Amino acid sequence: MRIHERGERLRGAGPRVVDIGITVLVQAAVTMPFVVPRAAGLPEVTWASYGLTTLAVLPLIWRRRAPVAVLLSALTISALYKLTLDGPGQPLPYPGLIAVYTVAALSPPRKRVAVTVLTFATIVPSVTPSRRPAGTR
């Protein structure tokens, strides 16, 4: 099958099939840190950390039906992961990025503005360096 033919088949796929495909791809990406060999000093891989990571990905199935709810769940679960577990995690927050894109693409302007403000209010503090001494949590 040629690439052009595959592209045509994908265009014919329904939105639900595309959303499930995106969810599967994101799950594969966030699984990588759990299956590749890890350096000795890094936190251990646990089922709890993998489960919480998977829980952040699953709402992407409903990203077109409830984009804001999917974004809020991705942000909440990611914050919960950061605060409660010290697992391998994914350096890029794929579920959150896809959810933000979906809100920007599918929501009316008023929702986009509100979500932008909320997103910056939650993300900026999480990436701002803390003033605690190095090595403490």
Sign of CA dihedral 101, 33, 55, 18: positive
Residue 84 maps to a domain: yes
Number of domains observed in the structure of the chain? 1
Residue 3 maps to a domain: no
Query: What is the pLDDT at residue 90?
Result: 66
Residue 134 maps to a domain: no
| pTM of this structure | 0.76
Q: Which residue's structure tokens are 């045509």? A: 8
Residue 2 maps to a domain: no
* Digit-coded pLDDT (tens) for 25-76: 999 998 888 888 877 877 778 888 889 889 999 999 999 999 999 998 988 8
* Digit-coded pLDDT (tens) for 67-126: 999 998 988 888 888 788 767 766 678 998 899 899 989 989 988 898 888 877 777 766
Query: What is the pLDDT at residue 131?
Result: 57
Cα 86 to Cα 137: distance, rounded to the nearest angstrom: 11
Which DSSP state fits 58? Answer: G
Residue 9 maps to a domain: no
Which DSSP state fits 132? Answer: S
For residue 20, the enclosing domain spans 16-127
Residue 58 maps to a domain: yes
Query: What is the pLDDT at residue 92?
Result: 76
Residue 98 maps to a domain: yes
Residue 1 maps to a domain: no
Cα 24 to Cα 106: distance, rounded to the nearest angstrom: 21
